[in-house]
Structure 1
Amino acid sequence: MPSNYLALAHQQECNQRGLDMAKKSMLDVAHEFVVARGEPVSFNDIWHEVLKELPETSIDRKSRFYTNLTLDGRFVALGGNMWDLRIKYSFKELYDDVRGVFREVEDIEEEKEIDPFEEPEEELLGEEIEEEIDDIELKEEE
């Protein structure tokens, strides 16, 4: 779906709902910007566009805008602080990505599991360090 089509559709939707395009919300500005770009966009680029289009926007509203962006169903966070339109991705693409993240977290948690009956590794490391020191001292004596 061409990005111009999406921008035109959004403008028509606003006109049908009786919204004045001069009184756009920060999210509407963000949506139009991402539609016009037609590719994933960083949050900072979106935020700078909002500030440019709505100069009365206070910089201290950045965190609220970020929260609203995450809650708005039109956008999807792709990771790496990149955002795009949710409509461009199938549910399976987004769902598989999330499952991968959870799998990584589970793997990390499994690695961190500690057996309370197992001898602590610090003692083993201490023995290995002592052996290394002994080897170095032997080499110096030779």
Structure 2
Amino acid sequence: MNLAELNEEDIRETAMVDIAYHILHEKGEPLLYREIMGEIAGLKGFSEEETQRLIAQLYTEINIDGRFICVGKSLWGLKQWYPTEQATDSAVAQNVKEDVDELEEDLFDEEEPDLEEMDPDGDEDFDGDFDDGEFDDETPEEEEEGS
């Protein structure tokens, strides 16, 4: 079936996930999820409100349908285009790389400790916060016995 051959009634009656399949099949390359939804909305004549209401439904259907495969962040293709291991490995590798990049950014964005407040042995210097007379060698029981 070719989308150009369908009349308005056929398009209206065809499930969004099936139209998504035909869009990808005709394009021959992966598309961003929002691009797929945009094309479906155009074909079916959805308003912006209808598109927003149905976008999660289409995402769920594409995820469940075995004909589709995620090959990148929000990038969907047809499973038949990829050997299963290649598609899975490349998608996982890309997602892991993006996660590592985000973690590195977060790590280097954190404030570094002020090295002037540190002792040479690496401990924070709190010596000025305590009164030397505050800590005695005697416990309270020993003080009572000595009286």
* Structure 2: distance between partners of 1:122 and 1:93: 44
* Structure 2: distance between partners of 1:82 and 1:67: 14
Q: Residues 38-117 of structure 1 correspond to what in structure 2 (within 5 A)?
A: 38-56=28-46, 58-59=50-51, 60-97=53-90, 100=93
Q: Over alpha carbons, which structure has the higher Rg?
A: 2
CA RMSD of aligned residues (A): 3.5
Identity %: 21
Other structure's SS at 2:26 match: helix
* Structure 2: distance between partners of 1:102 and 1:41: 17
- Higher helix fraction (1 or 2): 1
1:80-118 alpha-carbon deviations (Å, 9 max, x no partner): 321110011112202323553686669x6xxx9xxxxxx
TM-score normalized by the length of structure 1 = 0.55
5+ residue gaps, structure 1? 1-6, 9-19, 113-120, 129-142
The code of the aligned residue for 2:23 comes to F
Q: Aligned residues, how many?
A: 102
5+ residue gaps, structure 2? 3-8, 120-147
